[in-house]
């Protein structure tokens, strides 16, 4: 417990915002379904029929499950977008900005709660991949954590930036749905980008989720993912250093997207409703 006689510090404020965002998330059935259960249910529906099949030299069901681990970043984005816009429209953000609470602590607490939900999803989906779909344990856990952390930061910043373009809570589906559909069908989640039409592959590789999914699969399976297709041969295995070298272009693309998202957040983020 916090000593009431001690002046509050930045971690105290961020912790309080974390607890508030955490409680609000789990009390809202809609956010719980979309923000937590949706990737798991979609994975069970899509990956289960693929048991016993191979893609790129690995179990196709486990390959798809790793795609839905990446897709959990999109549901974290939707969770954050909904939460930020709702708090802004209810004037919560405006009131907080008028207090001694640092603005960065407000966002850090909300980002932290979304990150904790994502961690639970990753653990659940990872357990499904290993225990139900017979995936091996991750070849390079450190690279997997780096990719997931970088991907979460990117999608959290995108949520903060796009919240500034969202007129109100009723309009969040109009912003979130295109991101969800593009990520689901062109981000390499359920089907490899190499199986898309030739004219669509280059734009698909440039989407923000694609480098996360490809680098995550490389880190988990130790293979050179990125050019695989359903009809292609098994991908070559990689050594520990080679996995980082192969994932480097994906990490650079993530860094570029993150820098752009940070710039957009600084420019677009609003603490007050448009009509305020």
From the list 80, 82, 76, 268, the residue with the least C-alpha distance to 169 is 82
What local confidence, expressed as pLDDT, does residue 227 receive?
85
| Number of domains present in the structure of the chain | 1
What local confidence, expressed as pLDDT, does residue 169 receive?
84
What local confidence, expressed as pLDDT, does residue 28 receive?
80
The residue-averaged pLDDT of 134-160 equals 95
What local confidence, expressed as pLDDT, does residue 141 receive?
95
What local confidence, expressed as pLDDT, does residue 6 receive?
65
What DSSP element (H or E) covers 39? helix 38-47
Q: Long-range pairs for 3-9 at CB < 8 Å and ≥24 separation?
A: 8/100
4 or 197: which leads in pLDDT: 197
- Whether the per-residue pLDDT at 161 is higher than 60: the answer is yes
What local confidence, expressed as pLDDT, does residue 206 receive?
93
Residues 6 or more apart from 38 whose CB is under 8 A from it? 75
**pTM as predicted:** 0.93
Range of the domain at 106: 10-268
What local confidence, expressed as pLDDT, does residue 31 receive?
74
What local confidence, expressed as pLDDT, does residue 116 receive?
94
Which residues is 58 bridged to in the sheet? 55
Contact in structure between 2 and 8 (CB atoms under 8 Å): yes
Mark 54-69 as b/e (b = at least 16 C-beta within 10 Å).
ebbbbbbbbbbbbbbb
Separation between Cα atoms, residue 190 and residue 197, nearest integer Å:
15
Residue 237 covered by a domain: yes
Confidence label for 149 from pLDDT (cuts 50, 70 and 90) = very high
- Whether the per-residue pLDDT at 16 is higher than 60: the answer is yes
Percent of residues, the chain, with pLDDT higher than 90: 61
- Whether the per-residue pLDDT at 190 is higher than 70: the answer is yes
Percent of residues, the chain, with pLDDT higher than 70: 97
Contact in structure between 39 and 190 (CB atoms under 8 Å): no
Locus of tokens 């995550």 = 216
- Whether the per-residue pLDDT at 268 is higher than 50: the answer is yes
Separation between Cα atoms, residue 136 and residue 139, nearest integer Å:
8
Which residues is 59 bridged to in the sheet? 54
Classify 136 in phi/psi space as left (phi over 0), alpha (psi -120 to 50) or beta: beta
What local confidence, expressed as pLDDT, does residue 4 receive?
59
Q: What are phi and psi of 86, to 5 degrees?
A: -65, -45
What local confidence, expressed as pLDDT, does residue 276 receive?
47
Residue 276 covered by a domain: no
pLDDT tens-digit map of 17-44: 999 888 888 888 877 887 788 899 999 9
Q: What is the mean pLDDT of the chain?
A: 90
What local confidence, expressed as pLDDT, does residue 60 receive?
93
Contact in structure between 276 and 176 (CB atoms under 8 Å): no
101 or 142: which leads in pLDDT: 142
Confidence label for 230 from pLDDT (cuts 50, 70 and 90) = confident
Separation between Cα atoms, residue 194 and residue 216, nearest integer Å:
17
CA angle 96, 98, 100 (to 5 degrees): 80
């Amino acid at each position: 417990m916090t000593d009431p006689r001690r002046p509050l510090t930045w971690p105290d404020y961020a912790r309080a915002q974390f607890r508030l965002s955490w409680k609000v998330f789990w009390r809202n059935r809609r956010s719980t379904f979309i923000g937590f259960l949706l990737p798991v249910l979609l994975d069970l529906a899509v990956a289960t029929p693929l048991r016993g099949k191979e893609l790129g030299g690995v179990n196709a069901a486990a390959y798809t499950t790793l795609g839905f681990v990446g897709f959990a970043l999109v549901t974290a984005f939707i969770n954050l977008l909904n939460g930020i816009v709702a708090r802004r429209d209810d004037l919560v953000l405006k009131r907080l900005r008028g207090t001694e609470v640092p603005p960065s602590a407000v966002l850090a607490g909300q980002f932290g709660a979304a990150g904790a939900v994502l961690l639970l999803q990753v653990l659940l989906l990872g357990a499904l991949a290993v225990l139900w779909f017979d995936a091996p344990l991750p070849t390079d856990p450190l690279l997997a954590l780096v990719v997931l952390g970088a991907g979460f930061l990117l999608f959290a910043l995108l949520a903060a930036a796009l919240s500034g373009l969202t007129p109100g809570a009723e309009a969040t589906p109009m912003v979130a749905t295109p991101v969800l559909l593009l990520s689901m069908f062109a981000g390499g989640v359920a089907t490899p980008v190499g199986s898309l039409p030739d004219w669509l592959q280059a734009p698909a590789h440039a989407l923000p989720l694609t480098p996360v999914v490809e680098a995550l699969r490389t880190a988990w399976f130790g293979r050179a993912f990125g050019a695989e297709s359903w009809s292609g041969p098994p991908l070559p295995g990689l050594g520990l250093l080679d996995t980082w070298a192969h994932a480097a272009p994906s990490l650079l693309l993530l860094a570029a997207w993150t820098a752009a998202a940070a710039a957009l957040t600084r420019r677009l983020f609003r603490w007050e409703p448009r009509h305020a």
